[in-house]
Amino acid sequence: MSKAAILIREIKAEDDAQVAEVIRAVLIEMGVPKVGTAYADKALDEMTTTYNKDNAAYFVVEDQGKIIGGAGIAPLENYKGPICELQKMYFLPEARGKGLGMKMMEVCLEKAKSFGFEKCYLETFPYMKDATKLYAKSGFEPLEGPLGDTGHYSCNVWMLKSL
């Protein structure tokens, strides 16, 4: 992986299959339940369409034409107010430990601010320790329970950050 070849950019239609593959591979690697999580989301197979709406964007990390990670921002489902959700942030093993998570977080949160969101919410699992550390380092604070209703009832770590 050459640093010069790494690119963070908005998703394109031709990326959809690779992005779905990356997300499902990471979820399987982490032992995440397939029900009540992003694994079962119909949106995984049509990410470009899913994020082609107001106040939403999905970004991919590309290394010489191969998608190795991604993350998105969208309004928090079933919630009234200026809160977005950091969604589907996953990286293949070769993308980890290189600062790409922090860079992706900056890209997503800047986009969220440009959309006018005041806070960003996320859901994850306690055993996704590296991700949880990254979120805390980025200023996300733990919540006692979920906000909105994302349909990801298996997630049991909820965090929020002021933008």
pLDDT for the residue numbered 68 = 97
pLDDT for the residue numbered 1 = 53
pLDDT for the residue numbered 42 = 76
CA atoms within 13 A on the CB side of 12: 8
Please state the φ and ψ torsions of residue 50, each to the nearest 5 degrees: -60, -40
Pairing of strands 66-75, 57-63: antiparallel
Residues 89, 60: Cα–Cα separation, whole Å: 9
pLDDT for the residue numbered 150 = 86
Closest C-alpha among 131, 134, 141 to residue 163: 141
pLDDT for the residue numbered 27 = 86
Closest C-alpha among 81, 50, 80 to residue 70: 50
pLDDT for the residue numbered 21 = 93
pLDDT for the residue numbered 39 = 63
Residue 21 corresponds to which amino acid?
E
Average pLDDT along the chain, 163 residues, taken 10 residues at a time? 78 96 90 69 86 97 96 94 95 94 96 98 89 94 93 86 98
The structural domains of the chain, ordered by start, are 3-162 (3.40.630.30)
